[in-house]
Amino acid sequence: MKNPAFRWAMLGAMAIAGAGVSHAAAANAEPAANSHVLRVCADPDYLPYSNRAGQGFENKVAELVAKAMGRKLEYTWASYRGHGGYSNFLAENLDARKCDVVMNLPYGDHEDGYTKPYYRSSYVFITRKDKHLHIRSMNSVSLKMVKIGFEEDTTPETAIKLLDLIGNAVPFHVASNPTASPRELLQAVQDGKVGVMITWEPAIGDFLKDYPDLQMARVPSEEYGPGLPTVNYTYGMSMGVRKHDTALKDALDKVIATHKTEIAATLAKYDVKLMANPRHVNFPNQ
C-alpha cells in the first residue's frame, strides 16, 4: 500500500507493508482510551505536516478537532520515517495503543480504521517559469526532454516506468530520510538538478512561496494508451484510528462534517489546495 502523505502519498505516496504487530496483541496492550483526551501520534520534525512546536498543518487540524470534541490534545512523538517506514510507525504507536489517532491515513486503507476524508489533494509538476516547459500531462512531449525528479516508491514512479521514462529520471528519498525536508525537492528544480519534479502537493505547498521562480501544475488522471492502466493522482486523506474503534471514528467523522469550513481554512493557510471528490474512489493500494 502507498501513503501519499509521506511517500507522495509522500503521508501518497509511502509503501505500507505488513505491520509486524497484530491487532489482537495490540488490543491487550493498554486500557481503553480516555474520553477526555485526544491522543495523537505525530512526527516531531516533519514540516509542513507536524513538529513538536505545533507548527504543521496536521498539528493545527488536531488542535481544531480536539477543541471541537471538548478534549485535551496530547501527543506521542515518533518519526514516520524511521526503520520500517510508515507501516512500522502505525504498528509501534497506533496499534500499540500509545495513541488513538493519526492525522494522515489514506482513505480506503485496509490495515487500520479510517474516517471520511478531511482533505483531498494531488500530485503536481514543479518547473521553473523561465524554462517555459508547460508540462500538464504525463504524456507531455516535454517530459521526454528533461530530467525528471520523483519521490521513490510513489504513484509517479509507477507511471514513469510504464511510460519508459525511468532512464532519464532521478529518485529522491525525502520520505524515508528523517533529516530531509520537502524543500529539497523544490531546491533541486531551482538549481537545475532536474527539469521537473513530480511530487505530492501538500508536501511542498507551504514552501513554494519561497521559490518565486517556480510554478506548479496538477497531474491529471490519464489513460496512458492501449494496454496501459488509468492512474488517479488525487487522494483522499483521512484520520486513522484502530480498526475496531468505531466510537472514536464516528466522533471524528462528526467533527469533519460539522467543521468543514474551519478545516479548509486551516489547510489553506499552509497552501494545501483542496481537490473535488474524484469520480472514482482512489484506494491507496491501487
Residue that wins the pLDDT comparison between 160 and 278: 160
Better-scored residue on pLDDT, 41 or 81 = 41
The three three-digit cell numbers of residue 29, written as one number? 496492550
Inside any domain, residue 283: no
Question: Interior CA angle at 75 toward 46 and 175, to 5°?
Answer: 20
| 111 and 47 share one domain | yes
Structural domain contains residue 38:
yes
pLDDT reported for residue 223: 63
Domain count, the chain: 2
Q: Tell whether 21 and 105 lie within a shared domain.
A: yes
Angle at CA 130, nearest 5°, toward 125 and 136? 30
218-237 mean pLDDT: 80
CATH number of the domain where residue 68 is located: 3.40.190.10
- Span 120-142, pLDDT tens digits: 999 999 999 999 998 999 989 99
pLDDT of res. 33 = 58
pLDDT tens profile 19-33: 333 333 344 434 455
Q: pLDDT-derived band of residue 226, with 50, 70 and 90 as boundaries?
A: low
In whole angstroms, give the CA distance from residue 283 to residue 255.
23
* Residue 229: per-residue pLDDT: 77
What pLDDT is recorded for position 220? 87
What is the rounded CA–CA span in Å between residue 156 and residue 123?
8
The neighbouring-strand residues paired with 234 are 122
- In the structure, what pLDDT confidence band is assigned to residue 92 with cuts at 50, 70 and 90? very high
